[in-house]
Chains A and B, each alone.
Chain A
Amino acid sequence: MGIGIVGWVVIGVIGLVILWWIATYNRMIVLRNRIDNAWSQVDVQLRRRYDLIPNLVETVKGYAGHERATFEEVTKARQAGIDARSVQDQAQAENLITGALRRLFAVAENYPQLRASENFMQLQEELTGTEGKIAYARQFYNDSVLGYHNLIQLFPARTVANMGGFKPRDYFEIEESGARGPVQVQF
Chain B
Amino acid sequence: MFDQIAANRRRSHLLIFCVVLLIVGIGYFLGLYFELGEYAVFPALLFALLLAWGSYYHSDKIVLRISRAEPATKDEEPYLLNTLEGLSIAAGLPMPRPYIIEDSAPNAFATGRDPQHAAIAVTRGLLDKLNRLELEGVIAHEMSHIRDYDIRFMTLVSVLVGTVMLLSDGMLRNMRYSRRHGSGRQGNPLALVGLVFIILSPIVAKLMQLALSRQREFLADATAAQLTRYPEGLAAALEKLGADTEPLEAANKATAHMYIINPLTEHKGWANSLFSTHPPIEERVKRLREM
| A interface list, Cβ under 8 A from B | 38, 41, 45, 122, 125-126, 128-130, 132-133, 135-137, 139-140, 180-182, 184
Contacts and interface: CB of A to CB of B under 8 A. Distances in A.
A contacts with B: majority SS: helix
B89 A126 contact: no
A135 B136 CA distance: 13
Interface stretch (B15-23, B57-65, B75-83, B98-106): B75-83
B89 A133 contact: yes
A129 B230 contact: no
Given A140-B89, A140-B90, A180-B230, A133 B82 contact: yes
A182 B83 contact: no
B94 to A, nearest CB: 12
Contact of A132 (B82, B92, B227): B82
Contacts of A122: 78
B114 interface: no
Contacts of B91: 140
A126 B230 CA distance: 22
**Could you say which of A122, A125, A133, A136 has the most chain B C-beta atoms within 10 Å of its C-beta?**
A136
13 contacts: A41-B89, A122-B78, A125-B82, A126-B78, A129-B82, A132-B86, A132-B132, A133-B85, A133-B86, A140-B89, A140-B91, A180-B229, A182-B233
A135 B87 CA distance: 10
A135 B83 CA distance: 12
B133 A135 contact: no
Contacts, number: 50
By size class, the interface of chain B is: 20 to 34
A182 B89 contact: no
Contacts of A140: 89-92
Contacts of B86: 129, 132-133, 135-136
Nearest to B91: A140
Given A122-B78, A132-B83, A132-B132, 15 more contacts: A41-B89, A45-B89, A125-B79, A126-B82, A129-B79, A129-B83, A132-B82, A132-B86, A133-B82, A133-B85, A133-B86, A136-B86, A136-B227, A182-B230, A182-B233
Contacts of B227: 136
A65 to B, nearest CB: 27
Nearest to A130: B82
A103 to B, nearest CB: 21
A51 B206 CA distance: 53
Given A128-B132, A180-B230, A182-B230, A136 B82 contact: no
A104 B227 CA distance: 29
A129 B90 contact: no
A119 to B, nearest CB: 13
Nearest to A129: B82
Contacts of A180: 229-230
A184 B81 CA distance: 20
**Could you say which of A38, A128, A129, A184 has the most chain B C-beta atoms within 10 Å of its C-beta?**
A129
B291 to A, nearest CB: 15
Given A125-B78, A129-B83, A180-B229, A136 B89 contact: yes
Contacts of B229: 139, 180
A66 B171 CA distance: 78
A125 B233 CA distance: 19
Contacts of A137: 89-90
A158 to B, nearest CB: 24
A180 B90 CA distance: 13
A108 B229 CA distance: 30
A154 B89 CA distance: 28
A41 B88 CA distance: 11
Nearest to B90: A136
A137 to B, nearest CB: 5
Interface string B120-132: 0000000000011
A184 B78 CA distance: 19
Nearest to B80: A129
